[in-house]
Amino acid sequence: MTVWKDIETAPKDRRIIIATDTDMYIAHWGQNPFTGDEAWLIVAFDADAENDNQVLIKNGLAKAWSEAPEHPFNQSSMRVSNDKQTRAG
């Protein structure tokens, strides 16, 4: 079960899940190098674009946050066996 917390309590030192009124994103705190604005930074995937764009979610749009799950290929939780990666038991 996901535990959601008020966005004002979100840590700014790691990736988390943020929720807006309509969507959820993996995000981290970042700064626009051109304006100096700080906000939650996400990657916006565009199938028609040559490159993906990083987008700042402005203050007030992010409503809640939750811890991001552990990455499934985190090296500390994996071992290599017979040329296949398997979960360490």
Give the predicted TM-score (pTM) of the model.
Answer: 0.68
Q: Which amino acid is at 18?
A: I
- How is the chain split into domains, by residue range? 5-87
Number of helices followed by number of strands (H, E) in the chain: 0, 8
pLDDT value of position 83? 46
The answer to whether 43 touches 53, Cβ cutoff 8 Å, is yes
pLDDT in tens, 38-88: 999 987 666 566 666 778 887 789 999 999 888 787 666 545 444 444 444
Tokens at residue 78, please? 């994996």
Q: Confidence band (pLDDT; 50, 70, 90) for 4?
A: very high
DSSP one-letter code for 3: P
